[in-house]
Amino acid sequence: MPPLSAPPPEALQPSPGGRAAPGLAGKTAIVTGAAGGIGAAIVQALLDDGAKVGLIDRDVQAGAALAARLAGAGHGVHFVQADIQDFAACTAAYDTLAQALGNADILINNAGISPKTGGRALKVWEMPPQEWDMVMRVNLNAAFYLTRLATPHMMARRWGRIVNMSSVAGKAYCDIVAAHYAATKAGLIGLTRHWAGELGEYGITVNALAPGRIGTPLLKTVPQEVNDAVTRVTAMRRLGTPEEVADACLFLASDQARFITGQTIDIAGGWLMT
């Protein structure tokens, strides 16, 4: 793609009348980790608001079943099985979805892993370098790969939304997770600010969400007592739901959030309150 000229002055003006355009009809979104707890809720929220959604997940059974159920309900969806740890796999997945649904206007970098050993996060002196590298690739590199693939098209349209799934563990010390997870989630916050700075003049916002403890399969990587202990020190005295994260994600993807960029929003019910 040739380099883009500077955006025309009207691309930098507020929308006519000052109010937000309603809904996401006509927009195409891509969600990574789409078959997981939070990913599936985000897919549903985007579809309910009128977008077409491309689903990427390495879990072919869960992803295909979810896509079939959503297509059966009349939604515009397409599922691609991919392990997003390398650029070639991300490129193939992006191209397949662009063919099926059109280039992405909205990118949700949601896929993430938080490996434990025997329900426990390994300390620095115990950490196998292979596990460290894998968490970097899935949680951080893949967000770069897909953002690299999607942004030229968003820039050409002078509109785009990117949401990176961070964590409160990227902002505050949390001994439930290992350092690799904390480092990638902090890294996503840095990427969010930096990409927001690079892409704002093209009408693209970049924000991050920092969930606390949310009731998904990821929580089962630690014993129940660990999640109970978090609940006791959470202001709302409960875990969050995937739908609560999805609602905030939908807001950031919407026109209502058109002047919000480079930000990270906690969705943690008052846990850690970073």
Rank residues 33 and 187 by Cβ distance to ligand NAD and give the closer one: 33
Closest by CA position to 188, among listed 172, 205, 204, 210: 210
Q: Give yes or no: 181 in active site.
A: yes
What is residue 170's DSSP assignment? Answer: G
Query: SS3 of 187, please?
Result: helix
Strand ranges inside the chain, DSSP E: 28-32, 52-57, 77-81, 106-109, 160-165, 204-211, 264-267
The amino acid occupying position 173 is Y
Rank residues 101 and 230 by Cβ distance to ligand NAD and give the closer one: 230
- Shortest CB 75 distance to ligand NAD, Å: 18
For the record, the structure tokens of 130 come out as 């292979």
Alpha-carbon radius of gyration of the chain: 18
- Shortest CB 132 distance to ligand NAD, Å: 15
Let me know: does 155 contact 103? Beta carbons within 8 Å: no
Rank residues 38 and 155 by Cβ distance to ligand NAD and give the closer one: 38
Which residue has the CB atom at the shortest distance from ligand NAD? Answer: 36
Rank residues 35 and 155 by Cβ distance to ligand NAD and give the closer one: 35
- Shortest CB 84 distance to ligand NAD, Å: 4
- Shortest CB 5 distance to ligand NAD, Å: 36
Catalytic residue among 94, 145, 173, 181: 181
Rank residues 21 and 219 by Cβ distance to ligand NAD and give the closer one: 219
Strand partners, 164: 109, 208
For the record, the structure tokens of 220 come out as 């089962």
Let me know: does 15 contact 166? Beta carbons within 8 Å: no
In which residue are the tokens 């600010």 written?
193
Binding site for ligand NAD (CB under 6 A): 33, 35-39, 57-59, 82-85, 110-114, 138, 165, 167, 211, 213-214, 216-219
Let me know: does 188 contact 164? Beta carbons within 8 Å: yes
- Shortest CB 272 distance to ligand NAD, Å: 11
- Which residues are the active-site residues? 181
